[in-house]
Structure 1
Amino acid sequence: MQSPSLHIRRVGIDTWRENVVYLHRDCPVVRAEGFQALSKVTVHANGQTIAAVLNVVTDAQIVPPCDLGLSEEAFARLQVEEGHAARIEHAEPPPSLAALRRKIAGERLGREELHAVMADIAAARYSKIELAAFVVATQQYELDRGEVLHLTEAMIAAGRRIDWRSEFGAGPVVDKHCIGGIPGNRTSMLVVPIVTAHGMWCPKTSSRAITSPAGTADTMELLAEVELPLERLQAIVRQTHGCLAWGGTADLSPADDILIAVERPLAIDSPGQMVASILSKKIAAGSTHLVLDIPVGPSAKVHSLPEAQRLRRLFEYVATRLGLQLEVMVSDGSQPIGRGIGPALEARDVMQVLRNDPSAPQDLRQKALWLAARMIEFDPDVRGGDGYRIARDILDSGRALTQMQAIIQAQGERAGPLPVAPLQLDITAPRTGVVTAADNLRLARIARLAGAPQVPEAGIDLAVRLGDAVQAGQVLYRLHARFEADLAFARQLAEADSGFSITPQA
C-alpha cells in the first residue's frame, strides 16, 4: 500500500551535503507509517527518487501537516518544483551497511565492498551518523595501501569522469595540488596562467574553503565566475588551454565531497583518506600529470620529513597503478605564503605577482615558479632543468598576466576593484625580539573569525615573517572585517595569542 501524497515545500535550510526532509508531527503519514525523527526515508516525485533523513517539526509555519518540507540539498537533488506531489516511505538499509560494520570492527575491506560503500555514499543513502562512523573507523584502523587504491578507484567510479584526451590528443593534461593547511597559498592562480601560456593544457578545478579562510575557488570568484557547467568549462579550456573553476558543479568524485563535509568538523584527515580524496578528484577531472605539494612544518598537516616521505610513497603507489604520472614536491610549511589571508587579500597578492609589482610577495612568486617549472618539464619538448627559466620568462614578460586576463574574460569577468573591508585593527608585538615561529592553524582561525571566507574582503594582512626583528608595539598584522562583532571575536583571539612567537634577542 502506497503512502498518501504530500505537497513539496522548500524549507530553505542548508544541511550541507545531507538530504533532510521535514514532516509535521500531526501529518497523517507520520502516524500511519510510524515515522520517527531521524528515520531514514525515500522520497518519490515526478519519476525522481532520493534517500533522506526525516526531521519532525511542531510548527505549522515551517511545514504544514499536509506538506513535505525539503532542505536545500534535498530540493536540489530531487529537481521538482514546489507544490509538486510526492510520496515518502521507509528506506531500505544501504546495501553496503554490512561492509561499514566490518570496517567499524577493524576488518580490512576489499575492492567490491569499498565500491559498494562509495556508491551508497554518493547516492546519499548514508546518514551523517553513518558517514562519521566510516570516517572514524578508517582513522582508527588505518587503511592499508591496497584499501587506499580500491577506495580511490571507488571514488572515481561513483561520479563523472572527464576525458580531455579525446579533445586534445595525446599531450599531457597537467595539474597541481597542495595537501593544504598553509594560509595564503594561492599558487594555483599563478601556475595555471604560466603553464597555459607555455601552451600546455591545465583545466584546474578547485575547492571552496570549508575550515580554511579561503579556497582557490573563493579567491578566483572575486575576479571571474567559477560555477561553470561542464560543457561551458570544456569550451573555455578549448579556447584558453586552462581554467580556474569550482569543481562542485562537475560531479567529480561526489562521494569525496560528502565525506569531506564530515571529516573537517571532526578534524580527521587520515593519510589514506587524503590520498584517495586528492587522486580521485584529479583522475576524475582528466589529469594525466600531477605536481603535488606537501608542505612540512610544526603547524602544517605534515610535521616532519619522514612523515612526508611516507605520505609521498603512498601517493606514488596509488598514482602509478591508476596511470597518473606524479611529481611530489616537499616544501616549507613553517609559515603562511604571501601576505594576505582571506579571498580579497589573497587575490591582491596574486595580481601583484602577475603584474610584476615590486611590492608583490616574493615567497608566493618563487613557490609558484618552482611548481610551474615542474609542470612545464612534463612537456616532452622541454629539457629537464629548463622549466624554471621558461616559467620565469613567461611571468617576467607579462605573458602570464595576459593569459590570466584571457581566462578571466572567458569565465566571465567580475566588475569593479577588489573590495577592502571597512573595519581594521592592528595586532602588535608584545615585546622586542625576533619572530621565531608562526602558527598556521591559529592565524587561519583568526582570519575566519574576522569573517573570511563568507565575507570575502575580511581576513589578515601580514606585516612580518619568520626571522624578522621586531620592536615592542610594532605591527605584526592588520585585521580586516566588515562587522563589529567579527572584528571583536578576531581581536579577542589574536590578543590572547597572536599566532607569532617572538623570542628576545641575546
Structure 2
Amino acid sequence: MSASHSLIAMEMGIDTHQEPVVFMRADCEVCRAEGFNANTRIQVGLENRTIIATLNVVTEKVLPPDHIGFSRIAWQRMALEGGERVQISHAPLLHSMSAVRKKIYGHTLSSREIHDIVADIAAHRYSDMQIASFITAGVDCLNTQEIIALTQAMVASGKRLTWPDTLQLVDKHCIGGVPGNRTTPIVVAIASAAGLVMPKTSSRAITSPSGTADTMEVLTTVRLSLEQIQQTVRKVNACLAWGGAVNLSPADDMLIRIEHALDIDGVGQLVASVLSKKLAAGSTHALIDIPVGPTAKVRSQHEARHLAGLFDTVGQALGLKMRCLITNGDEAIGYGIGPAQEAQDILAVLNNEPGAPADLRERALFLAANLLNLAGGASLEVAQARAQELLASGQAWEQFKRICDAQGGLKTIPQAAHQLELGARHSGTLLAMDNRRLSRLAKLAGAPISPAAGLRLHIKLGQALAQDQPLLTLYADSRGELDYAAAYYANNHDMFMVGEAS
C-alpha cells in the first residue's frame, strides 16, 4: 500500500464496547481517495496485525491532520502505543453476507454457509449491525439441521478442552429467567464429591442480576486458563470457572452480546449457544434445567416441551447424552438475588444451616440426583439418597472448599455499604411474584456490576404476611443506586401479588 494510504494512529479514549471504531477527518486525503463515508467498513493494518473497523467521520476540531483515531477496543486489538503509521484500505468483501441475506428472505442455509458466517463473526469481520441482521434473520426460523450446523460452527470458532477419550464428563445448564436460581455450585460440589468429573464453565450475567460466574467470583477466582481448568479438574474432579476467559465458543459470546442489546433470544440460537459450550468443554453428558412460569423465560409447558425436544435432538446428534428437566419457575429460588446474596445462599445450603433456603436445597438435590442417574448408572432413587447423603454429611461442603482452594482459595463475601428494608403495602397471602421485575430491582441496586448489591427476600409464595411486614431488603454500594431501586419498587410494588388464598 502506498504511503498516501497511511495515517498516524491516535487513541481517542472512546468506549465503543466490543465493536472496533476508527475516526477520520472529513477532509482526510485517504477518505477522499478511497471514497470512505461514515459507517464504511475499513481494514487497518500494521506489520502482521490487522482489524476490520467501522469508520466514523469527524470534524477537523477532533483530530489533527494526517491522523486516524481509534476507539478503546480497536486500540487494544491493534496493540498500539501511539504515533505508529498504520495502513488503511477497504475491508475485504464479506461473501458470507450473501448467506445472511438468503436467510433474511426465508431460505434454508447449508452447513457450509453457516460455518462461513460464524467463522467471519469469530474473526471480527462483522459489524454489530451485520451480526444483528444474522440474529434477527434466524429468530425461530432455524430448522434442526441448521441448529446442528450452528452448534458445530460455534464450537469450531474457538478453543476446546481436551480430555482422555475414556473420561466421562458431565455438565448442567439452566435456561434462566428465574432470579436466585444458583443451583450450579451446589450441584457441582455434590456430583464431583460422588466421583463424577465436572469441568463447569459458566457465563456472567447477560440480562440477569447475576450469572454463575459472577456469584462464584464472590467466593473464589473464576478467571482460569485452559491449563488451570485442566489442572484443577485433575486435582479435585471439578472446577467452577468463567467460560469467557478461555475463548470457548467465542462466536457465541459475540452473538449473545448483540442478542442482549436487541432483547432477542431465539430458540434455535439458544440451543446452539448452550450446547456449543458443553461440547467445547468436552462434556459427554448434559443436564438441562428448563424452569417454566408466568414471568420466567419459558412461559408454558408446550414451549418447554418443544425446547426440551430440540435440546435432545441436537445434543444426541452431536454425541451428547442428554436429559432435560422441566421445573417450576413461578418464583425466585432462594432468598438472595445478586452475586453476594446468592453466594450466601449457596454457603448456607452447603453448610446445612437451619435457615438455608429449602427450595434452593431441594432443587439442587433434584438436579444432582438426575445427574448421578444420567451419568453414574444408579437408579434415580439410589441417586437421590446418595445426593442427600453427600450434602447432609458435609462431604459436598468439603468438596466445594477443595474446588475453591484449587482455584485460589475461598474468599470473604463482600458487604454492601447501604441497605433498605421494604415492607408489604397490606396484609394477606403472597400469591405471586414477578421474576422479571424482581431481577430489574436487583439490577437497579447495582447488581451484578457491584457484587455486594442486590436484594434479599424475606417471604415465599403461599406465606401469610401482615401490613408493613418486611418483604425484602435492598443492598447497594451507593446511596444513589439504593434510592433509584427504592423508587422503582415504589412504582412497581405490584411485583408482589398479595391477596386472599383460595
Deviation at 1:96, TM superposition (A): 0.4
- In 2, distance between residues paired with 1:220 and 1:502? 34
Matched, 1:224 2:220: yes
User: Which residue identity lines up with residue 35 of structure 2 in the other structure?
Assistant: G
**Contact 2:161–2:226 (Cα < 8 Å) also in 1:** no
**Contact 1:28–1:65 (Cα < 8 Å) also in 2:** no
Partner of 1:445: 440
What SS is found at the alignment partner of 1:220?
A: helix
Matched, 1:42 2:43: yes
Deviation at 1:26, TM superposition (A): 5.1
CA RMSD of superposed structures (Å): 1.9
User: Which residue identity lines up with residue 274 of structure 1 in the other structure?
Assistant: L
- In 1, distance between residues paired with 2:61 and 2:206? 33
Partner of 1:98: 98
Distance 1:76 1:463, change over 3 A: same
- In 2, distance between residues paired with 1:249 and 1:59? 40
Distance 1:81 1:201, change over 3 A: farther
After the TM superposition, which of the residue ranges 383-392 and 365-374 deviates more from structure 2? 383-392
After the TM superposition, which of the residue ranges 488-497 and 72-81 deviates more from structure 2? 72-81
User: Which residue identity lines up with residue 434 of structure 1 in the other structure?
Assistant: T
Partner of 1:194: 190
Matched, 1:334 2:335: no
What SS is found at the alignment partner of 2:239?
A: strand
Deviation at 1:78, TM superposition (A): 3.2
Distance 1:24 1:239, change over 3 A: farther
For residues 79-228 of structure 1, the aligned pairs below 5 Å read: 79-139=79-139, 142-164=141-163, 166=164, 169-228=165-224
Deviation at 1:312, TM superposition (A): 0.8
For residues 74-473 of structure 1, the aligned pairs below 5 Å read: 74-139=74-139, 142-164=141-163, 166=164, 169-380=165-376, 382-413=378-409, 415=411, 417-473=412-468
After the TM superposition, which of the residue ranges 211-220 and 17-26 deviates more from structure 2? 17-26
Deviation at 1:363, TM superposition (A): 0.8
- In 1, distance between residues paired with 2:413 and 2:68? 43
**Contact 1:46–1:80 (Cα < 8 Å) also in 2:** no
After the TM superposition, which of the residue ranges 343-352 and 234-243 deviates more from structure 2? 234-243
- In 1, distance between residues paired with 2:242 and 2:15? 19
Deviation at 1:135, TM superposition (A): 1.4
- In 1, distance between residues paired with 2:460 and 2:326? 20
- In 2, distance between residues paired with 1:205 and 1:190? 14
- In 2, distance between residues paired with 1:67 and 1:387? 66
Give the count of matched residue pairs.
500
- In 1, distance between residues paired with 2:397 and 2:222? 18
User: Which residue identity lines up with residue 18 of structure 2 in the other structure?
Assistant: R
Distance 1:76 1:497, change over 3 A: same
What SS is found at the alignment partner of 2:52?
A: strand
Distance 1:10 1:290, change over 3 A: farther
- In 2, distance between residues paired with 1:269 and 1:125? 23
Deviation at 1:34, TM superposition (A): 3.0
What SS is found at the alignment partner of 2:298?
A: coil
Identical aligned residues as a percent? 47
For residues 22-61 of structure 1, the aligned pairs below 5 Å read: 22-25=23-26, 27-58=28-59
**Contact 2:219–2:404 (Cα < 8 Å) also in 1:** yes
Distance 1:175 1:505, change over 3 A: closer
- In 2, distance between residues paired with 1:78 and 1:71? 11
- In 2, distance between residues paired with 1:9 and 1:65? 11
- In 2, distance between residues paired with 1:76 and 1:288? 36
Matched, 1:487 2:482: yes
Distance 1:421 1:80, change over 3 A: same
What SS is found at the alignment partner of 1:348?
A: helix
- In 2, distance between residues paired with 1:38 and 1:284? 34
**Contact 1:395–1:401 (Cα < 8 Å) also in 2:** yes
Deviation at 1:12, TM superposition (A): 4.0
User: Which residue identity lines up with residue 194 of structure 1 in the other structure?
Assistant: I
Distance 1:501 1:40, change over 3 A: same
**Contact 1:25–1:65 (Cα < 8 Å) also in 2:** no
TM-score normalised according to structure 1 size:
0.94
After the TM superposition, which of the residue ranges 65-74 and 450-459 deviates more from structure 2? 65-74
Partner of 2:6: 5
- In 1, distance between residues paired with 2:235 and 2:204? 25
- In 1, distance between residues paired with 2:433 and 2:60? 49
Match of 2:469 among 474, 484, 487: 474
What SS is found at the alignment partner of 1:203?
A: strand
Deviation at 1:93, TM superposition (A): 2.7
After the TM superposition, which of the residue ranges 353-362 and 441-450 deviates more from structure 2? 353-362
Query: Which runs of 5 or more residues in structure 1 are unaligned?
Result: none
What SS is found at the alignment partner of 2:224?
A: coil
Deviation at 1:48, TM superposition (A): 1.8
Deviation at 1:10, TM superposition (A): 4.2
User: Which residue identity lines up with residue 459 of structure 1 in the other structure?
Assistant: G
Distance 1:83 1:174, change over 3 A: farther
What SS is found at the alignment partner of 1:136?
A: helix
Q: What's the CA shift string for 1:363-397, capped at 9, x where partnerless?
A: 11111111111112234453443111111111112
After the TM superposition, which of the residue ranges 337-346 and 419-428 deviates more from structure 2? 419-428
User: Which residue identity lines up with residue 92 of structure 1 in the other structure?
Assistant: P
